[in-house]
C-alpha cells in the first residue's frame, strides 16, 4: 500500500516561511509524480504544485504559488518538499501530498491517492 505522510505544518506569521515534507514509501519513488494539494476551511481543495519524478523532475505550480513556493525532491530520502515563502492568511489550509502518473495541472481529482495532511495556519 502506497504511503504518503505530510508534515511540517504549523503556525507562521504573514510574510514568513515554512517547509512542508512528504515522506513516501512502498512505491517506486522515481516512477511517479507527487503533488501538493490544499484545502482551506469551507473551501474546495485546490492543487498547489507538482513534481514529476519520472520526467526529470518537471514541475508545475498553481498561479498563486508561482514565485512564492518551491517544490523539490530528495531521492535518497524518498521525500518531496514544499518550501513556502511570503505566506499570507490566504495560504491557511490543510496541505496534503498525493501521487499521480504525471503532473497535468488538472486539479486534485486527478490524483490517485492522498496522504494525511498537515495544517498550516498563517496568522499574526
The tens digit of pLDDT for each residue in 76-115 reads 999 999 999 999 999 999 999 999 999 988 999 999 899 9
12 pLDDT more than 90: yes
pLDDT at residue number 29? 87
Query: How buried is residue 74: exposed, middle or buried, by Cβ count under 10 Å (0-12/13-18/19+)?
Result: exposed
Angstrom distance (rounded) from CA 16 to CA 97: 21
Supply 40's cell numbers. Answer: 482551506
What angle is formed at CA 18 by the lines to CA 16 and CA 5, rounded to 5 degrees?
A: 160
Dist CA 98 CA 103 (whole Å):
11
> Does residue 31 contact residue 51 with C-beta atoms inside 8 Å?
no
Residue-wise pLDDT tens digits, 49-67: 999 998 889 999 999 999 9
Amino acid at each position: 500500500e502506497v504511503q504518503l505522510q505530510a508534515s511540517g505544518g504549523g503556525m507562521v506569521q504573514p510574510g514568513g516561511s515554512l517547509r512542508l515534507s512528504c515522506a513516501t514509501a512502498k512505491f517506486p519513488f522515481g516512477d511517479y509524480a507527487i503533488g501538493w494539494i490544499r484545502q482551506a476551511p469551507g473551501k474546495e481543495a485546490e492543487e498547489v504544485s507538482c513534481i514529476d519524478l519520472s520526467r526529470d523532475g518537471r514541475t508545475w505550480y498553481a498561479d498563486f504559488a508561482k514565485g512564492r513556493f518551491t517544490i523539490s525532491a530528495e531521492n535518497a530520502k524518498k521525500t518531496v518538499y514544499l518550501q513556502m515563502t511570503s505566506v499570507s492568511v490566504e495560504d491557511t489550509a490543510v496541505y496534503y501530498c498525493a501521487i499521480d502518473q504525471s503532473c497535468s495541472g488538472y486539479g486534485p481529482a486527478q490524483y490517485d491517492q492522498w496522504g494525511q495532511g498537515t495544517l498550516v495556519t498563517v496568522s499574526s
